Amino acid sequence: MKTNDVMLKTATKVVTFIILMFAVHIFFAGHYTPGGGFIGGLLTTSAIVLLMLAFGIDTVKKILPINYVVLSAVGLLIAIATASASIVFDVPFFTHAYDYFDLPLFGETSLHSALLFDVGVYLVVVGVTMTIIQTIGEDE
Amino acid sequence: MSLVLLIFLPIIAAFFIPLLYKKLGQIHTGWFVLLLPAALFIYYSTLLPSIADGGSRISELQWIPSLDIAFIAYIDGLSLLFSLLITGIGALVVLYSIFYLDKHREQLHNFYVYLLMFMTAMLGVVQSDHLISLYLFWELTSISSFLLIGYWYTRDRSRFGALKSMMITVFGGLMMLGGFVLLGIMGGTYSIRELIAQAPELAGHDFFVWALILILLGAFTKSAQFPFYIWLPDAMEAPTPVSAYLHSATMVKAGLYLVARFTPIFAVSSTWVWLVTGIGLFTMVWASFWALKQKDLKGILAYSTVSQLGLIMSLLGASAAAFHVEDVIGTYFVYAGFAAIFHLINHAVFKGSLFMVAGIIDHETGTRDIRKLGGLMSLMPISFTIAMIGAFSMAGLPPFGGFLSKEMFLTAMVTLTDFNLFQFDTWGILFPVIAWIGSVFTFIYSFYFVFHTFAGKHKPEELPKKAHEAPIGMLLSPAFLAILVLIIFIIPNVVGDWLVKPAVAAIQPFIYSSPQEVPVNVGYWHGANTEFFMTLGIFAVGFLMFWTLRKWQKSYDLYPDGLTLNRLYDNLMFLSDAGANRFSRLYMTGFMRSYLVYMFSFVVIIVLGTFVLNDAFAIDMNNLAPVGLYEIVIMLVLVGSTLTILFSKSRLTAIIALGAVGYTVALFFVIFRAPDLALTQLVIETISVALFLLAFYYLPQISRKEERMRFRLGNAVIALGVGVTMTLVALAAHSGKAIPSISEFYKETVYTEAGGGNIVNVILVDYRGFDTLFEIAVLGIAGIGIITLIKLRLTKKEGQHENK
């Protein structure tokens, strides 16, 4: 018997984007207020999981054709590249740098290389949690 | 030529043996080997004149200079005598083996490689002046003799004998190493000569007795003294040339060498005198008694070897007693050292020939069982003559070398009764009595060996082969040794001056400074004194007992097999094997629960023990924050959910209670102002509860019995113990806080240095980003692990079905 889940699907369409935006917000805010790559990653995952619950794994795979194993590998690479970039500038491993830039649209903003590292963390968390959930979900 | 190099010459030659065996297989490999010991013997003989004058040779090869370890070849009277025995008898044994071992049927390359290895090891043992290199060569003798005993490795008995001798001699070797290390610590040097030079200071040291006992253990195991002699009879499974060489003339004398070499250091101690003399004499009597029970020719010889080694050992002990006598030169105490060395030479000579004769009999009749042999006198006249000379020398009959040394042995033992130190005056009378009984049995088994083999009725029907005289090549070596026995009797003083006295001067440097000072002159006739009548008594009683041997020999069978030392060894081996097995199985149950019990109990015992021993527990209530209402409420919820987990009947309840615990912890994070932690905790708890539910859903139906966790008192006690322990540790740690926290630094620099506001996140990605880097690596590994677990089910049977 096919159940009618139109309410779930409709709500999901709205809620997913709210969650995603909250995730992005909490990721970028991490350096000054609670949040960061880890929480951001987990929230993003929860958004995708919500999609999966509402539309099924196969549909989500079609709209988000991401290989999550590769995603976590990319995240790890970004993290380690950020950490080792400092060697090029003849400073110890894992030395971060930051400065203030006048960006269009944002005005004066501080940019920190720790953000790049956090991107790595974010990608790994999304990649790994999604790998786990997808693998278990597809298991017969 | 460097003396050190000469030690290694045989083992270097051993590298070429397989080549010679392969390329020149038509010629018996032994002929090539023979050249080496013969050449070495000639070279060492050229050293004789200078050594007999009291000189010495030394040569050194650095090995590990930074640890002060070197190969030092030191040749004085004692080591030269042994070197000559090793190379001389070595040459004869190789000659004998050429005719004994068939070049087509035997693996000659193995045999001669092992033999040359052994020769290097023995030369190294007797010439090394450095304790560590002495130990190295000592173990090499154990290993090469292990290989030689197990030469016919397809036979069970050979392997058993090889293993047994290995176990016992290596045990002794390791004990000896301990003694050497103690000596090295005491004296600050590993050189034996330097240790001897400072012998008086060593005697007072705390380690002295330990070093003494450990080194004696090494010497006793190697020289087959009581109770370690049991490996030697089993080592008779080796080819006869090996038995003749290793187990009569050389290896078993390594222990005697060791005792002789260390006499100058340890003789000052009465323990040494008592142990060496006592064990030696007891071994002599014990082994000569059991020799008569043996039915195997080589068995008789094995026990007789043990007995003779005991005799020499007791003489070495008596020579150490001379250290305690004032004005020793005028007394009979001077005889002991001389007799020891003299008998050592005699024994090497006659026992070598006897073993070779036993090998000939085995070779020509096909059996060594003395009950099947008999009446070979007319069939094998030359072997008989050789055996008779050897056995009569062993029994101590004139006109053979053994007579002279046996006389001196009795003299030395009688002299011990005059000794008035350490209770010798009361117990000393036992020494000559025991020595006399041992000599009587020696007399009997010597006759038993010869006459039960060669005299009596010939029993050709029981022999596997038709008995006939051995080829001349096989008889050469034993004949040569038999002639030596006679020569030693004819010119004892020449042997004494050239070989024995330099060795005695090396053993007793505290009495003599040069070999000429040794005041012993071997005479055939001492006059009608105590020893003379003792000898007559030995001959008379021995002859009578031998005459009636058949009547009382059966009484040996009455002795229960269960009480022998061999049985003890077997049981020990069985126990250490099966016992260790059973012990492991006792605690290695295979249940994770047991291992957790061990671990937790040890945590509790160690931590609480440390608290008690160091009086470390402290509690300080001053520095505590006030407890608010929220904390109390959340704590009650937490405790409630925890108890629910423990006592819930259904697993589902437990999982949900666990979730409750997780969320309350998140609440704690909130009220303790850790927003990042609270966020993460909430999400992670949700995910893990979901995963738990997943695992719960797939539980197999059969074992899904919903029942309460069984109560076990042990578990409860341990859980309580761990909880209490950790609480105490936490309280004590909180009370003893010594250094201020580092967090002030983070607070001050988070904006100025790191350009951030969220301390937690800045610590994670900047101050200590290293940890984060590897934590995300851990996450990645977990993900890959789950993929492999789920996708790669190679071992499951269903997967195989799918593939079909």
- CA neighbor of B91 nearest in space, from B26, B149, B42: B42
* Contact across the interface for A121 and B772, Cβ inside 8 Å: yes
Residue B499 has pLDDT above 60, yes or no: yes
Same domain, B449 and B358: yes
User: Could you tell me the pTM of the whole model?
Assistant: 0.83
Secondary structure (DSSP) of B498-563: IIIHHHHHHH-TTT-SSGGG------S---SSHHHHHHHHHHHHHHHHHHTHHHHGGGGGGS-GGG
- Least-confidence region, from A75-79, A106-110, B257-261: A106-110
Residue B794 has pLDDT above 70, yes or no: no
The Cα–Cα gap between B223 and B215 comes to 12
Structure tokens at B523: 């005479």
A90: left (phi over 0), alpha (psi -120 to 50) or beta: left
- CA neighbor of B253 nearest in space, from B156, B331, B351: B351
What does the radius of gyration of chain B's CA atoms come to, in whole angstroms?
38
The Cα–Cα gap between B105 and B96 comes to 17
> CA B754, B756, B757, B760: dihedral to nearest 10 degrees?
-70
Please write down the HEC assignment for all residues of A17-60: HHHHHHHHHHHHHCCCCCCCHHHHHHHHHHHHHHHHHHHCHHHH
Same domain, B365 and B413: yes
What is the band of B803 on the pLDDT scale with cuts at 50, 70, 90? very low
- CATH code for the domain of B658: 1.20.120.1200
Q: Which residue of B has its CA nearest to A39?
A: B680
Same domain, B749 and B732: no
Average pLDDT over residues B467-487: 87
**Which pLDDT does position B616 carry in this prediction?**
78
Summarised one tens digit per residue, pLDDT across range B711-764 is 889 889 999 999 999 999 988 888 876 778 888 888 888 888 877 888 888 888
Q: Which of residues 1-40 of A touch B (CB under 8 A)?
A: 26, 30-39
**Which pLDDT does position B635 carry in this prediction?**
93
Task: Note whether residue B234 is domain-resident.
Answer: no
Which position has the token pair 């049991």? B230
What is the band of B797 on the pLDDT scale with cuts at 50, 70, 90? low
Answer with the one of B547, B565, B581 that is the final residue of a domain.
B547
Task: Note whether residue B542 is domain-resident.
Answer: yes
Domain extent for B294:
269-547
Beta strands B57-64; B69-75: pairing state: antiparallel
Residues in A closer than 8 angstroms to B791, CB to CB, are: 135
Residue B300 has pLDDT above 70, yes or no: yes
Task: Note whether residue B558 is domain-resident.
Answer: no
Residues in B closer than 8 angstroms to A139, CB to CB, are: 790
* Contact across the interface for B755 and A112, Cβ inside 8 Å: yes
Task: Note whether residue B247 is domain-resident.
Answer: no
Summarised one tens digit per residue, pLDDT across range A54-69 is 888 888 989 989 999 9
What is each CA distance from B64 to B61, B124, B191, in whole angstroms? Answer: 10, 17, 14
What is each CA distance from A78 to A35, A122, B122, B768, in whole angstroms? Answer: 20, 10, 67, 17
Q: Which of residues 58-97 of A touch B (CB under 8 A)?
A: 68-69, 72-73, 75-76, 79-80, 83, 94, 96
- Least-confidence region, from B343-357, B493-507, B546-560: B546-560
**Which pLDDT does position B12 carry in this prediction?**
92
Summarised one tens digit per residue, pLDDT across range B176-218 is 999 999 999 998 889 999 998 888 888 888 889 999 999 999 9
Same domain, B535 and B683: no
**Which pLDDT does position B40 carry in this prediction?**
93
Same domain, B419 and B355: yes
Structure tokens at B16: 């070429």
Structure tokens at B24: 């020149």
- CA neighbor of B192 nearest in space, from B132, B138, B141: B132
**Which pLDDT does position B425 carry in this prediction?**
58
- CA neighbor of B222 nearest in space, from B269, B167, B282, B152: B167
Nearest to B755 among A83, A110, A118 (CB): A110
For the purposes of burial, counting CB atoms within 10 Å of the CB of B61, is it exposed (0-12), middle (13-18) or buried (19 or more)? middle
Q: Name residue A102's beta-bridge partners.
A: A108
- CA neighbor of B498 nearest in space, from B516, B482, B517, B524: B516
Summarised one tens digit per residue, pLDDT across range B529-569 is 777 888 888 889 988 888 888 888 777 777 777 677 888 88
**Residues whose CB is less than 8 angstroms from the CB of residue B665 and which lie 6 or more positions away in sequence, other chains included:** B638, B681, B685
Residue B626 has pLDDT above 90, yes or no: no
Same domain, B345 and B407: yes
* Contact across the interface for A72 and B779, Cβ inside 8 Å: yes
Task: Note whether residue B697 is domain-resident.
Answer: yes
- Residues B153-187 as b/e (b if ≥16 CB within 10 A, e otherwise) read eeeeebeebbbbbbbbbbebbbbbbbbbbbbbebb
**Which pLDDT does position B426 carry in this prediction?**
66
What is the band of B804 on the pLDDT scale with cuts at 50, 70, 90? very low
State the total domains in chain B.
Answer: 3
Mean of pLDDT over chain B: 87
Nearest to A124 among B680, B756, B780 (CB): B780
**Which pLDDT does position B393 carry in this prediction?**
92
Summarised one tens digit per residue, pLDDT across range B127-186 is 999 999 999 999 999 999 999 999 999 999 999 999 999 999 999 999 999 999 999 999
Task: Note whether residue B762 is domain-resident.
Answer: yes
Same domain, B721 and B774: no
- Least-confidence region, from B256-260, B363-367, B389-393, B592-596: B363-367
**Which pLDDT does position B423 carry in this prediction?**
58
Same domain, B773 and B730: no
Helix (H) or strand (E) holding B93: helix B77-100
The Cα–Cα gap between B425 and B417 comes to 6
Summarised one tens digit per residue, pLDDT across range B382-406 is 889 999 999 999 988 878 888 888 8
Q: Which residue of A has its CA nearest to B777?
A: A76
Torsion sign, CA atoms B458, B462, B466, B467: negative
Task: Note whether residue B529 is domain-resident.
Answer: yes
Task: Note whether residue B188 is domain-resident.
Answer: no
What letter would DSSP give residue A102? Answer: E
What is the band of B525 on the pLDDT scale with cuts at 50, 70, 90? low
**Which pLDDT does position B704 carry in this prediction?**
58
Same domain, B330 and B349: yes
Helix (H) or strand (E) holding B778: helix B769-791
Query: Do residues B388 and B450 lie in contact, with contact meaning Cβ atoms separated by under 8 Å?
Result: yes
* Contact across the interface for A114 and B769, Cβ inside 8 Å: yes
Residue B381 has pLDDT above 80, yes or no: yes
Same domain, B520 and B660: no
- CA neighbor of B478 nearest in space, from B391, B397, B406, B395: B391
**Which pLDDT does position B323 carry in this prediction?**
80
- Least-confidence region, from B222-231, B400-409, B475-484: B400-409
Cα-based angle B240, B100, B236 (whole degrees, multiple of 5): 10
Helix (H) or strand (E) holding A108: strand A107-112
The Cα–Cα gap between B250 and B247 comes to 7
Summarised one tens digit per residue, pLDDT across range B97-122 is 998 988 888 888 889 999 999 999 99
Residue B330 has pLDDT above 50, yes or no: yes
Residue B65 has pLDDT above 80, yes or no: yes
Nearest to A30 among B754, B761, B780 (CB): B761
For the purposes of burial, counting CB atoms within 10 Å of the CB of B554, is it exposed (0-12), middle (13-18) or buried (19 or more)? exposed
| Helix, strand, or coil (residue B244) | helix
What is the band of B765 on the pLDDT scale with cuts at 50, 70, 90? confident
Secondary structure (DSSP) of B52-76: HTT--EEEEEEEEGGGTEEEEEEE-
Average pLDDT over residues A35-47: 90
Helix (H) or strand (E) holding B99: helix B77-100
Same domain, B275 and B384: yes
Secondary structure (DSSP) of B680-691: HHHHHHHHHHHH
Same domain, B608 and B497: no
User: For chain B, what percent of residues have pLDDT higher than 70?
Assistant: 95
- CA neighbor of B261 nearest in space, from B77, B442, B41: B77
Residue B669 has pLDDT above 70, yes or no: yes
Residues in A closer than 8 angstroms to B777, CB to CB, are: 76
Higher pLDDT, B249 or A127: A127
Higher pLDDT, B793 or B474: B474
